[in-house]
Structure 1
Amino acid sequence: MNVASEGGGQPRSILLASDLDARSDRALDRAVQLAQAWGARLVVANVVEERAIEAHAIVVRDPPSWYRGTDPVHLAEKHLLEAASARGVQVKLRVERGDQVADRLLEVAREEGCDLVVTGVARQEWLGRMILGSTVDQLARRSPLPVLVVRNRAHAPYRRMVVASDWSPSSENAFRTATTLFPEAAISVLHGYDVPMAGLMDTGRDDMLAMARKDALAEGQAFVERCRPPGGASSVSLVVERGDPALLMRLYAEQFPVDLAVVASHGRSAVFDALLGSVARRLVEDSPVDTLIVRDPRAAARTG
């Protein structure tokens, strides 16, 4: 289901994809906050890989006499129950077995009628860059549902979002989905553009750059009008700059009080397949804030 295109309003059911690591606490906190705000069901899912079960059996093949054995699936259930009860919410737990983790998580989302997938990042490098991890990367590539990648602690509801846009229908869909999910959040639209050959020009360079910016602003204003934001076009801040969109997004989120970035999984240059577009991937990887990835419904329809 696509929240905006189905006209169903805010999600009635949320899937939290958890690996039970300490990093998952941030995603759990945000999922709980959203479930409470929307009155939605929360389904917490963990997939135990078969190779993890086999590895556990190898490690404990000669256990001490007092060891009575554990089942990794039951252990995962125990951790999930403890995490949920500690936050005072009622959730449905789904602990599954399988090696195709992302595929199994998406199957659970379909079975449970979920409208949004919430997940976390794998780790943070010393320079501050978040590493998505293979499962999160696959969810971003394959999920027909919006995927919210949580990086930061959930201190409050999202107050300000920045939507990365290349003026494409995919970006329009992402804009509408985000404003349906978070209608109270202030909105900025950010566009990064290039001016080919500008660096090679001796004369007329300034005029060319000025014209390119004027054209980009006009396209941006038309884009915002088409998106019909909840507060009207005048309520949206339009940020149009020459430069790489991923870098601009990171700098903007660092400079201003942004707590959510919104990215369309496909743009103007996309072949509508199951792959996360290259620009979208860099936007997601470089974003210093929580990031909502929205799949173009035409891509989902084509891949079935």
Structure 2
Amino acid sequence: MSIPPRKILLATDFSARSDRAEARALALAHQYDCKLLVVHVLERQPKTRLARRTRFSPQSRPDNRLIESAKRQLLNALVQGGNRVAVRIEEGHPSKTVLRIAREEGCDLIVTGVARNEMLGRFTLGETVDELMRGSLIPLLIVTDRVHGPYNNIVVAADYSDASRQALEAAAAFFPDRTLRLLHAHGAPGSYAVEDVESYREQMRLAARREYLAFLDTVNLPAEQRARFDVLIEGGNLTELLQELVESSSIDLVVLGSRVRGLLPEAFVGSVAKRVVSALPCDALVIRGHKA
């Protein structure tokens, strides 16, 4: 069974939108009364054969003044965190360094922001966030919205997979006092061949609901927690249904599992989760599933 975070890692790059992830990470650290580790990674400059070594240049050795300046900037930005906040600044590959530090420090949650926002709520995840989604074995919170308070309206996108089961258990552990809306998108195969399409789709929806309620009985949660699930069964495309639900119901967080299939190359890991997260106009919590 999942448990609430005991140590949160905030991965920040000082970009214009990183303040949203910083504010959310700080709010969660207060909410869970846990430690907050702030990580900033300085990317190494690529070496070329033609480049001539310059004495005392940043390429010759790490710039300690830059590191100390970055630490002060982060601590000043997160001064409200008090003694619960610590800072680590290292050189290396951003996503690999963040994941290594998360393992070393025993973090339960990684918080990060998006690369940039575009019009109409669309945004690009950016290379580092994309790599974190594919590589992180612990929950990853991708922040796009400003903090207006604790997460209240939460949707869990879940099918019958082990990844969805883990997402449900994690969401219940992270938000034990919230009602969780569970959205399951089902299909209606063969509907083009029937005369009464609406009646057929309603039969498919009821059948999917019965199967889904049976699936929920397998989730490792007490009955009182499962009683707080608000199950929504709808036919259609998951991404489109989530977009409609988020916009119509003021959803501020979507939780979903990222499935890993056997020996598929890493490039395919979590591709569905990435597609869904990229289309959402709200924050997303991605729970990595075990290999199938």
TM-score by length of 1: 0.83
**Counterpart for residue 25 of structure 2:** 31
**Counterpart for residue 126 of structure 2:** 133
Residue 161 of structure 1: which of 146, 154, 167 is its match?
Answer: 154
**Counterpart for residue 66 of structure 1:** none
TM-superposed deviation, 1:195 = 2.1
**Counterpart for residue 59 of structure 2:** none
TM-superposed deviation, 1:50 = 1.2
Which piece of structure 1 moves more, 279-288 or 102-111? 279-288
- Within a 5 Å distance, the mapping from 1:75-154 to structure 2 comes to 75-85=69-79, 88=82, 90-98=84-92, 100-154=93-147
**Counterpart for residue 58 of structure 2:** none
Q: For residues 232 and 144 of structure 1, do their structure 2 counterparts lie closer, same or farther at Cα, with a shift above 3 Å needed?
A: closer
- Within a 5 Å distance, the mapping from 1:1-304 to structure 2 comes to 4-5=1-2, 9-51=3-45, 71-85=65-79, 88=82, 90-98=84-92, 100-199=93-192, 201=193, 203=195, 205-227=197-219, 228=221, 231-266=224-259, 270-271=261-262, 274=266, 275-296=268-289, 298-299=290-291
Deviations 1:133-179 (A, max 9, x none): 11011111110000011111222111121000112121011100111
TM-superposed deviation, 1:224 = 2.8
Q: How many residues align?
A: 280
Q: For residues 78 and 166 of structure 1, do their structure 2 counterparts lie closer, same or farther at Cα, with a shift above 3 Å needed?
A: same
Q: Secondary structure at the match of 1:241?
A: strand
Which piece of structure 1 moves more, 136-145 or 223-232? 223-232
Q: For residues 194 and 91 of structure 1, do their structure 2 counterparts lie closer, same or farther at Cα, with a shift above 3 Å needed?
A: same
Q: Which runs of 5+ in 2 are unaligned?
A: 56-62
Amino acid aligned to 1:154? V
Preserved CA contact (<8 Å) 1:77 1:93: yes
Preserved CA contact (<8 Å) 2:133 2:286: yes
Q: For residues 256 and 231 of structure 1, do their structure 2 counterparts lie closer, same or farther at Cα, with a shift above 3 Å needed?
A: farther
Preserved CA contact (<8 Å) 1:161 1:186: yes
Q: Secondary structure at the match of 2:141?
A: strand
Preserved CA contact (<8 Å) 2:140 2:287: yes
Within 1, Cα distance between the matches of 2:204 and 2:145?
A: 36
Q: For residues 246 and 20 of structure 1, do their structure 2 counterparts lie closer, same or farther at Cα, with a shift above 3 Å needed?
A: same
Within 2, Cα distance between the matches of 1:39 and 1:212?
A: 45
Q: Secondary structure at the match of 1:210?
A: helix
Amino acid aligned to 1:191? H
Within 1, Cα distance between the matches of 2:191 and 2:271?
A: 24
TM-superposed deviation, 1:229 = 5.9
- When the two chains are superposed, the root-mean-square deviation of aligned CA atoms in Å is 2.8
Within 1, Cα distance between the matches of 2:96 and 2:243?
A: 30
Within 1, Cα distance between the matches of 2:281 and 2:224?
A: 26
**Counterpart for residue 60 of structure 2:** none
Amino acid aligned to 1:47? V
Amino acid aligned to 2:10? L
Within 2, Cα distance between the matches of 1:229 and 1:137?
A: 34
TM-superposed deviation, 1:105 = 0.4
**Counterpart for residue 65 of structure 1:** none
Q: Which runs of 5+ in 1 are unaligned?
A: 62-68
Within 1, Cα distance between the matches of 2:45 and 2:195?
A: 63
Deviations 1:182-207 (A, max 9, x none): 111221000112223423x2535444
Q: For residues 215 and 11 of structure 1, do their structure 2 counterparts lie closer, same or farther at Cα, with a shift above 3 Å needed?
A: same
